[in-house]
Amino acid sequence: MSSRSISPVVVLSLASSLAVALTGCTVGYTADVRNDTAQPVVAYLVRGDSSGQSNALALQRIAPNSRGEVSRYNVPDGWKVFLQVDAQANPGYPAQLDMYPGLTVVRVTQDGNLPTGKIHLERISRD
């Protein structure tokens, strides 16, 4: 019987493949938030998991009638990420919108444009 050795190129290729498989792919999320309300809001990128727990990945306070951005990069592919927006006098739960990797442009409004109105999120096209 002859013994065959494995070439260093094959070993390096296998090691590289294993490293990629262990680390997995990552993606980035960015929300361009247009706050069309009369009060400041806080926009969060949140990871939701199967246990019902959520973890804030990033947050940004956005002044009334202005625009802000909240971003998080190197998020493992496969995580469920959503945008959550809240304000101090919001009468209900924070508004939520599912996010997709890349840029999402969102308009924030309130019922009656009053500080006590319910917050709404609308996905809009880029300007």
Q: pLDDT class for 67, splitting at 50, 70, 90? A: very high
Provide CB contacts within 8 A for 101, sequence distance 6+: 27, 28, 29, 77
Percent of the chain at pLDDT > 90 equals 61
- Domain ranges, residue 106: 25-124
pLDDT at 54: 77
Q: What is the CATH number of the domain that holds 70?
A: 2.60.40.3330
50 or 8: which carries more pLDDT confidence?
50
Residue 88 belongs to some domain of the structure = yes
Provide CB contacts within 8 A for 31, sequence distance 6+: 43, 45, 69, 70, 71, 83, 99, 103, 104, 105, 106
pTM: 0.77
Residue 120 belongs to some domain of the structure = yes
Residue 19 belongs to some domain of the structure = no
Whether the predicted pLDDT of 89 surpasses 70: yes
pLDDT at 123: 96
Structural domains in the chain (count): 1
25 or 14: which carries more pLDDT confidence?
25
